[in-house]
Structures are given as C-alpha cells and as structure tokens.
Amino acid sequence: GQQLNQSPQSMFIQEGEDVSMNCTSSSIFNTWLWYKQDPGEGPVLLIALYKAGELTSNGRLTAQFGITRKDSFLNISASIPSDVGIYFCAGRNYGGSQGNLIFGKGTKLSVKP
Amino acid sequence: EAQVTQNPRYLITVTGKKLTVTCSQNMNHEYMSWYRQDPGLGLRQIYYSMNVEVTDKGDVPEGYKVSRKEKRNFPLILESPSPNQTSLYFCASSLDRGFGYTFGSGTRLTVV
C-alpha cells in the first residue's frame, strides 16, 4: 500500500527548544492530519489541514499543508516535558477513497527537562 | 462522554481460535475504521466503513473480516488467528470524510 515518509524517526531535545518534523508523499494528498500518541493510548488529533499552502496553529503547534500537496510539516515551539510522545502524520490521497487514511511511521519525541 | 470503546483491552489467544474484537462509538459517526500498529511500521489500515453495510479494504486486510450492521458498532473478526497477527489494534470513527478519525484506547492481541 501507499506510504508516507515521515522524518525524523526520533528526536532528543532539551526543554525549551523548538521541534520540526515533516512528512512527504509521492502522490498528491487532499488532506493532511497530525496526531500525537501517548504511551498506552490511541492517537489524538492535533491539527487538520485541508488546503494547499494552509498554515494552522494550535497553541504551540503549527502545521502547514505543502504547496505541492505532497508534503506537510509540524513545528512545536518551546517544548515542555508533556510534549513527549509519538507524532504521526496522516493523509488522504487525492484519488483514493475518503475513508482511507494513511499514516506515516511516526516521530518519537523525547524531551529532557 | 463522546468516545470510541474497544473491548477487550488485552487478549491472549491460541492459533486458529476464532475471536472478535468489539468497537462501539456514541458520536453518530458515519465512518469507522480498524488499524493495527506494529513497531517500526506505524499505523496500517485494515478495513474501513463509510456507512451501514458499506465496507472496504485498507492496506492490510488479509486474515481479517468486519461487519457494519449498525451505525455505532464495527467489530473486527479474526476467523483463524496466526502469530503474525499479534499486534496493537485501534478502532476509530469519523463524523464525515472531511474530518480526522477519533481513536479508541487500543486492544493488545497476542496469538501464541
């Protein structure tokens, strides 16, 4: 099946630092979503993007829908210990079924106090 | 409280013994889906449903069955489980095709 390339795989940062991660696809997507998963829980939706070029913020999180429709990035500013977790990008292929949401392999974020 | 409820949370079973993982949502969502999560592979979609009696295969449907007889329920059936189906399973639902999925808390399945 189709895959999203998410990078980096893992990050170890100091509290207070900014974080950036991204996702790319070989095909055009019409929706990009960013999720966070805490240990022992299901993923929780952070930000949803529906339009090429769209830039959306949710508190310290900012995400953008790439202008080519083939990529997206997520930034976290001034990281804090509770930002620890796995972050996933997800997208819907432009030509695919609306129910078919594809996930990247995740970026594991560790924050040192 | 709006939620997606899966049961059981943990299950250990033997190869070949049929099992069902239940999933229920109380948000009147149209879309429901099952994913499996494996280390290094992320979340992979097994099946999804756009409405009652309408289902379609995801990326890894082999060895699984689903049914959507009622809007709120979307059980995952493993007719003859094998060890390679040992995984963490998530059920999810979405109001409409334009929205992201809301996930349940997961079912950790071990097949020995």
Residue with the two structure tokens 């189906």: B85
pLDDT of residue B26 exceeding 90, the answer is yes
pLDDT, mean of residues B63-90: 97
Q: Is B58 on the interface with A (CB under 8 A)?
A: yes
Q: Within its chain, how far is the Cα of A99 from the centroid?
A: 19
Q: Is B61 on the interface with A (CB under 8 A)?
A: no
Residue B36's SS3 state is: strand
Q: Using one digit for the tens of pLDDT, what is the confidence trace for A23-80?
A: 999 888 889 999 999 988 999 999 999 999 999 999 999 999 999 999 999 999 999 9
Nearest chain A CA: its distance from B30 CA (Å) = 10
- What confidence category does residue A93 fall into, taking pLDDT thresholds of 50, 70 and 90? confident
Dihedral, CA atoms, B31, B3, A111, A20, nearest 10 degrees?
A: 30
pLDDT of residue A95: 58
pLDDT, mean of residues B17-38: 96
- What confidence category does residue A113 fall into, taking pLDDT thresholds of 50, 70 and 90? confident
Interchain CB distance below 8 Å, A100 and B48: yes
Check residue A82 and report its DSSP letter.
Answer: G
Closest partner residue to B40 (CB to CB) among A1, A42, A105 is A105
- What confidence category does residue A94 fall into, taking pLDDT thresholds of 50, 70 and 90? low
- What confidence category does residue A101 fall into, taking pLDDT thresholds of 50, 70 and 90? confident
Interchain CB distance below 8 Å, B101 and A101: yes
Identify all chain B residues contacting A101, using CB atoms and an 8 Å cutoff. Answer: 33, 45, 48, 100-101
- What confidence category does residue B2 fall into, taking pLDDT thresholds of 50, 70 and 90? confident
Question: A12-16, A71-75, B82-86, B94-98: which has the minimum mean pLDDT?
Answer: B94-98
Provide the token pair at A40: 């022992």
pLDDT of residue A2: 66
> Which residues are within 8 A (CB) of B99 and not within 5 positions of it... i.e. 6 or more apart?
A48
Closest partner residue to A1 (CB to CB) among B56, B59, B106 is B59
- What confidence category does residue A89 fall into, taking pLDDT thresholds of 50, 70 and 90? very high
pLDDT of residue B16: 97
Residue B53's SS3 state is: coil
Contact indicator for B63, B76 with CB cutoff of 8 Å: no
Phi-psi region of B96 (alpha: psi -120 to 50; beta: other; left: phi over 0): beta
pLDDT of residue A40: 87
pLDDT, mean of residues B47-60: 92
Identify all chain B residues contacting A98, using CB atoms and an 8 Å cutoff. Answer: 31, 50, 97-98
pLDDT of residue B40: 85
pLDDT of residue A1: 58
Task: Output Rg (C-alpha) for chain B, integer angstroms.
Answer: 13
